[in-house]
Amino acid sequence: MVEKFGPLKFLDKYTRTSVAAWALDDLVVSRVRAAAPGSSVRRIPYTREELRSGGHQKQNPFFYRAAADVKGFVQFLAPKIRCDRYVVVHRHGGTQREYGIGISQYPYGGPVHLFAMMFIRVYDGQTLELTKEAPALMTDDTYIERMTHNFLGGPSTQLDRAMFPEKPADVVNNPVLREGVRTMLTKSLDKTLPSLLQQPAQTPSR
Tens digit of pLDDT at every position of the chain (206 positions):
999 999 888 888 999 999 999 999 999 999 999 999 989 999 998 887 787 776 666 655 555 577 788 888 899 888 888 999 999 999 988 888 899 999 999 999 899 999 999 999 999 999 999 999 999 999 877 667 666 667 788 999 999 999 999 999 999 999 999 999 999 999 999 999 999 998 765 544 44
Amino acid 205: pLDDT:
43
Amino acid 148: pLDDT:
66
Distance CA 147, CA 155 (A): 12
Amino acid 203: pLDDT:
46
Distance CA 164, CA 65 (A): 32
Strand 2-4 vs strand 101-105: parallel, antiparallel, or unpaired?
Answer: parallel
